[in-house]
DNA sequence: CGTTAAACGGATGACACATTCCATTTACGG
DNA sequence: CCGTAAATGGAATGTGTCATCCGTTTAACG
């Protein structure tokens, strides 16, 4: 592979990550090409399709999420692990408008996402169980409340633009305090809110 | 005005409200016309522009919000008023995907929204102050946390589709429990999150 | 019944975007 | 240095979606 080609490939990926982070997943490929300082055709030489570009651009971040969960599971204090993974993932959402907010909702069928997802769901279920066992997480907490929180965070991130990180942190703090066991009337049973049924991009007509 | 014209006008408004409620503010006027059983041109005879239709369609709901706030202010128990107005508005968001989620964020300059908004903000500030005075609302609560909650609710509503109302209620319950005074470490000062700086529809290059 | 507002269906035109064609440039092995 | 294949850029191409309007037909109402 020629040196300039490899170089451009990197530039494109960097530009894509930046653009997606700031403006969300909807930025046109044309824009990304321009920001990368190359022509659209060049971008297409490296990534045959829009989706391919997106997949590559987010692969790294996705790995970070998985890692965060693994670390949480490795933490001897399940509550601390629980908080930490939530805080990390939400911070990622807040920092990168494209990630989760758009990726998980608009590309549920991208990549080999499915196998990763069930693994993630199992890990979360395990973490929740342990945190309840130590009495730190309220008994009426439901694993789908994580989805609830992610969606809520998503809304805050989309809406607050400039101050996303701070706003997101504040929301997460409020919610984690509410998740903490001990001080609150119990909740009604939750709505079934599975990750895979989130926001199928509104079908037209 | 001819009888059938008035009749169609009503049909159009009803169709618009339904469509916006279910699918959000983005439904094409063409679709609304079809659902109303009229041709697009007919719709344009009644509402000269897309925005005009939207304004009329949501006027009623907007009034409901204002009313909810007035009721809350009239309640002798400020905390109950506080909860009730939040619950009502969030339920409205959950029931009607178009309202707030799209209206407040995509049409910040529609109608005479500004005067209403400041009045609403003043009312909320007053309510918050009273609820703190009675010691029921935590001291480090900030009026902009209402915005935070609305955005969070917005995210949940957008994401959870079929089960929006239940999911929204659950989120609100969690957050209200967290807002309640007494049991939590204080929060860091909030990010400035004013209603009017929300989600200026992403400007295209 | 005639008049005329109202409604209809099918344009029209604008826009945004993914993707591709082909002439030109450029890296780099010899 | 030079030749060549790889890489690139600029301008198309094609598609889809919409808001909005035109000329004709329908039917309400006096």
Query: Are B148 and A167 in contact, with CB atoms under 8 Å apart?
Result: yes
A125 or B186, higher pLDDT: A125
For residue B199, name the pLDDT band (cuts at 50, 70, 90).
low
Helix (H, G, I), strand (E, B) or coil at B138: coil
**Any idea how long chain B is?**
205
pLDDT at residue B201 greater than cutoff 50: no
Q: Quick check: do B1-48 and B57-197 share a fold?
A: no
- A154 — contact with chain B (CB < 8 Å)? yes
Closest CA to B194 of B156, B142, B152: B142
Digit-coded pLDDT (tens) for A132-181? 999 999 999 999 999 899 999 988 988 887 888 999 999 999 999 999 98
Domain ranges of chain A: 1-48, 58-197
pLDDT at B193: 66
- C-alpha A100/C-alpha A20 separation (Å) is 11
Considering the domain A58-197, what is its CATH architecture?
A: Orthogonal Bundle (1.10)
Closest CA to B54 of B24, B83, B79: B24
Give the per-residue pLDDT at B18: 94
| Residue B202 clears pLDDT 50, i.e. is over it | no
Mean of the per-residue pLDDT values of chain A? 86
The number of beta carbons lying within 10 Å of the beta carbon of residue A21 is 16
From 1.10.10.60, 3.60.110.10, 3.40.50.2300, 3.40.50.150, which CATH number describes the B1-48 domain? 1.10.10.60
Q: How far is B36 from chain A (nearest CA, A)?
A: 14
* B26 reaches A (C-beta below 8 A): yes
* A66-76 pLDDT tens trace: 899 999 999 99
Residues of A in contact with B167 (CB under 8 A): 148, 151, 190-191, 193
The alpha carbon of residue B50 and the mean position of all alpha carbons in its chain are separated, in whole angstroms, by: 20
What are the pLDDT digits (tens) for B90-148? Answer: 999 999 988 876 566 555 445 556 677 788 889 999 999 999 999 999 999 999 999 89
Å between B1 CA and nearest CA of chain A: 32
| CA dist B164 → A55, A89, A148, B172, B173 (Å) | 29, 23, 10, 12, 14
Write the CATH number of the domain with boundaries B57-197: 1.10.357
Q: Picking from A65-79, A179-193, B139-153, B190-204, which range would have the lowest pLDDT averaged per residue? A: B190-204
A31 touches chain B (CB under 8 A): yes
Among B193, B77, B141, which Cα is nearest to A168's? Answer: B193
Closest by CA to A153, choosing from B153, B166, B167, B168, is B153
Place of tokens 């700031």: A22
Residues in B touching A108 (Cβ below 8 Å)? none
Q: Higher model confidence: residue A199 or residue B92?
A: B92
* Higher per-residue confidence, B158 vs A39: A39
Has residue A77 got a pLDDT over 90? Answer: yes
A133 versus A202: which is more confidently predicted?
A133
CA nearest neighbour of A140 among A171, A83, A178: A178
Question: Taking CA atoms, what residue in B is nearest to A185?
Answer: B177
The answer for B 116-145 residues in CB contact with A (under 8 A) is: 145
């Amino acid at each position: 592979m020629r040196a300039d080609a490899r170089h451009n490939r990197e530039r494109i990926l960097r530009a894509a990550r930046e653009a997606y982070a700031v403006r969300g997943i909807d930025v046109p490929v044309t824009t990304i090409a321009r920001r990368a300082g190359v022509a659209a055709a060049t971008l297409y030489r490296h990534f045959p399709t829009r989706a391919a570009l997106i997949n590559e651009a987010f692969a790294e971040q996705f790995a970070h999420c998985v890692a965060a969960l693994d670390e949480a599971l490795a933490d001897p204090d399940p509550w601390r692990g629980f908080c930490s993974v939530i805080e990390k993932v939400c911070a990622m959402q807040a920092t990168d408008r494209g990630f989760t907010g758009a990726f998980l909702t608009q590309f549920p069928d991208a990549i080999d996402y499915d196998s990763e997802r069930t693994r993630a769901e199992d890990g979360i279920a395990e973490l929740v169980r342990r945190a309840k066992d130590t009495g730190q997480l309220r008994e009426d907490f439901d694993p789908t409340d994580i989805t609830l929180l992610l969606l809520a965070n998503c809304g805050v991130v989309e809406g607050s633009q400039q101050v996303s990180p701070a706003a997101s942190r504040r929301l997460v703090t409020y919610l984690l305090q509410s998740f903490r066991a001990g001080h609150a009337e119990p909740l009604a049973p939750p709505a079934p809110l599975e990750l895979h049924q989130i926001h199928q991009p509104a079908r037209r007509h």
